[in-house]
Amino acid sequence: MAEAHSAVAFSFTVTPEGVNVRLNHEALWHVWESGVISWKKRIGKMKNNIHNGVFPASPLSLLFVVTITMALKTCGWDTSLGAITFFHMHTPFISNYSFSVGHYLSTLLFSFVLWLGVIAFIRYTLKLLLSYHGWIYEMHGKISLRTKLWLALIRVFGGRHPMLNSYQASLPKLPVPALNDTLARYLESVRPLMDEDRFGRMERLAKEFESGLGKKLQRYLILKSWWATNYVTDWWEQYVYLSGRSPIMINSNYYGIDALLVKPTNQQVSRAANLVAIMLRYRREVDREELNPIVLNKTVPLCSAQYERQFNTTRIPGVETDTIVHLKESNHIAVYHKGRYFKVYIRHKRRLLEPIEIEAMLQRILDDETEPVEGEEHLAALTAVERTPWAKARQQFFSKGKNKASLDAIEKAAFVLVLDTEDVDYDPNDPTALDHYGRTMLHGKGFDRWFDKSFTLVVCPNGRVGFNAEHSWADAPIMAHMWEYCITDEVDKYGYREDGRCNGSLTHLPLNPIRLEWDFPKPCLDLIESSRVMAGQLCEDVDLHIMMHHAYGKGFIKTCKVSPDAFIQLALQLAYYRDAGKFCLTYESSMTRLFREGRTETVRSCTKDTCTFVRAMEAKAEKPELIRLLRAASETHQHLYRQAMTGEGIDRHLFCLYVVSKYVGEDSPFLAEVLGEPWRLSTSQTPHQQTDKLDLKKYPERIGGGGGFGPVADDGYGVSYIIAGEDTIFFHISCKRSCPTTDSHKFGQLIQQSFADMRDIFQSQ
């Protein structure tokens, strides 16, 4: 196994005989290559900015405008209404030329101004059109004439062949809801969860807030919304994620698992090589903006801002607050195997390595039998525990020498690859197998995932894969998009030989992996060990259950004329009521990417209509009445979901009002109580089939297993689900073992029973 290459391009020593200069030609070549790649990316970025700057027009349309204007002017038709003559007479650099030259120059200038004016008109019109959200409230199959006209205009002004960020400038800003509307919706959301006395108290606090401090805070928030691109996103990232000092493992990071019904190869390094190669090419598509933006109903674009930091990104710990560091380029990945860290280059002669080349390098890592240095195996436990001790350790022990260079290699990597040593798999005869799979991806052993990286790809010895993702840089749909892209292209474009190895032939040997070097003093070793113990305790407290529900799925639910998401949320409410004997404040994540730089909003799924339906189910009401109540609760839920998507949610508005109150130094009893309420049931749906790559009609076995997250409340549940195909739904249920009132397996059984009971009410009597 080769040791580390020298990173110094040249060095010199002074001797009695003179100066001795030594050149490292390989290092100089890498410096040159890096510079060329960097300049290519800059030029490409500039071209993309020009394209996006004039979209939905194209740069070539300028030639069309110039040609038409010049031809008409030559024929004696002045379409400029005298503007060309004005430019000719009053523009300094044009008026100095002869009449014929000045005539052509002034015509060119007018054409350019006209072209910019038309583009500005089209872009502003498109932004106004995208500000209309009435379409989302209309039922499928009952589209109004107004919405049909709107759809036609969107297609006219929306342009063709958009790049990833082409629509960004045309997306509207997230509006600030009216204060009285937010407060009214909040009170309505908590009414079924409070007794008369407590609800009366909250009503009084809300009225006092609305008539007093709330008006002042609202004015500040409206002012910010005029100035900022998005009035929520920067504060949400800073105060919800980066300012938190608690461990991000389990509490913040989330995970994803494989497509469980298929496994293209059993070879660990081969599958890792193919996925790494695909991810790097996906990164190139994102950098070049060749990735198609997500467009709802083939018409309405979603914000693409979150894709930028998917690669080359690390969350850096701070004593008081963390920061996100994103590099424009990274030419290597970091690999962890059996307690050792390696730096693996991903380019050769300005091109990305092929899977067969990556496979050869990873195989060398597997064949290497050197032992980790003391402390190296458990080093990543520092990223798993509280942030402040990790920040101080980073300053004290990783600011110079080997440790700094090696830490830089990890933090500046495109992403981290873990070649794991334990198998995970899906076994229909062993329900606990999936639980182990989920725990492996959520936290592993607590020290074998670099939780600060944007994501860590995990590949097990039997070829099963998954990932662990840090949450602050983006939300789960961004990772789900890449995961769907990779899992599909892995089979359709790259594939494997009959022996499970990567396709292709190795024509030359790429650079050897570089073993990272460490030198930990005793205090650092003690901190690593204490972090390992603490991380292990956090892992042991996680009770995670992954359940594959295949009795029926969205196919049957649609026949009930009910939204699949609303149906699932009602089943979760019924299960929780049967588990706890009461209702609770429920969080369901909704996206706000219809707006520029939008992230998420909360749907408060436990509504008055939901509670009425659940109580009727428990009282064994007549089936027609239960169907009526179920559909009414579903409609209420869908209305709340649409409000959240269109900027009329409750919680982000209240959160930002709370932040403003802290800035102005005035406390609000109302806001303090609202933001202190625990979310004992936190839910989220993992999107499926975001692109047309995944064809489940043709390949139904490629359904994704989704992913999950840890519990938000100490005495609550975290539930993530993915509607995988027509007949399958995966549930990822988490809670804490230390809580005597929660049990993920019991809750899973209650969900199964709720689904069975809800199907029964639609069966013929």
* Residues with catalytic function: 471
If you ran DSSP here, which 8-state letter would residue 177 be given?
P
Contacts of 529 (CB under 8 A, 6+ apart): 375, 378
Contact 141, 129 (CB under 8 A): no
Specify the 3-state DSSP secondary structure of 13: strand
What is the H or E stretch that residue 530 is in? Answer: helix 522-540
Distance (Å) of CA 585 to CA 191, 255, 605, 664, 713: 11, 24, 8, 29, 11
Specify the 3-state DSSP secondary structure of 325: strand
CA–CA distance, 218 with 604 (Å, rounded to integer): 22
Contact 280, 357 (CB under 8 A): no
Q: What is the 3-state secondary structure (H, E, C) of 524-586?
A: HHHHHHHHHHHHHHHHHCEEEEEEEECCCCHHHHHHCCCCHHHHHHHHHHHHHHHHHCCCCCE
Distance (Å) of CA 664 to CA 211, 220, 246, 692: 17, 10, 26, 48
Length of the chain: 765
Distance (Å) of CA 599 to CA 84, 170, 477, 644: 47, 17, 10, 11
Residue 94, amino acid: I
Nearest to 330 by CA among 315, 349, 307, 311: 311
Between the two ends of the chain, the Cα-to-Cα distance in Å is 72
CA–CA distance, 545 with 583 (Å, rounded to integer): 22
Q: Find the angle CA(22)-CA(24)-CA(25) to the nearest 5 degrees.
A: 125
Q: Report how far Cα 310 is from the mean position of its chain's Cα atoms.
A: 8
If you ran DSSP here, which 8-state letter would residue 504 be given?
S
Contact 638, 655 (CB under 8 A): no
CA–CA distance, 66 with 85 (Å, rounded to integer): 16
Report DSSP letters for 52-90, one per residue.
HHHTTS-TTHHHHHHHHHHHHHHTT--TTTTHHHHHHHH
Contact 464, 234 (CB under 8 A): no
Nearest to 544 by CA among 488, 466, 605: 466
Residue 322, amino acid: D
What is the H or E stretch that residue 746 is in? Answer: helix 744-760
Residue 654, amino acid: L
Contacts of 298 (CB under 8 A, 6+ apart): none
Phi, psi of 9 (to 5 degrees): -75, -35
Number of alpha carbons in the 13 Å side-chain half-sphere of residue 436: 12
CA–CA distance, 31 with 17 (Å, rounded to integer): 30
Distance (Å) of CA 409 to CA 136, 298, 345, 350, 755: 46, 41, 11, 20, 49
Distance (Å) of CA 90 to CA 102, 104, 637: 11, 15, 63
Phi, psi of 378 (to 5 degrees): -105, 15
Phi, psi of 601 (to 5 degrees): -140, 160
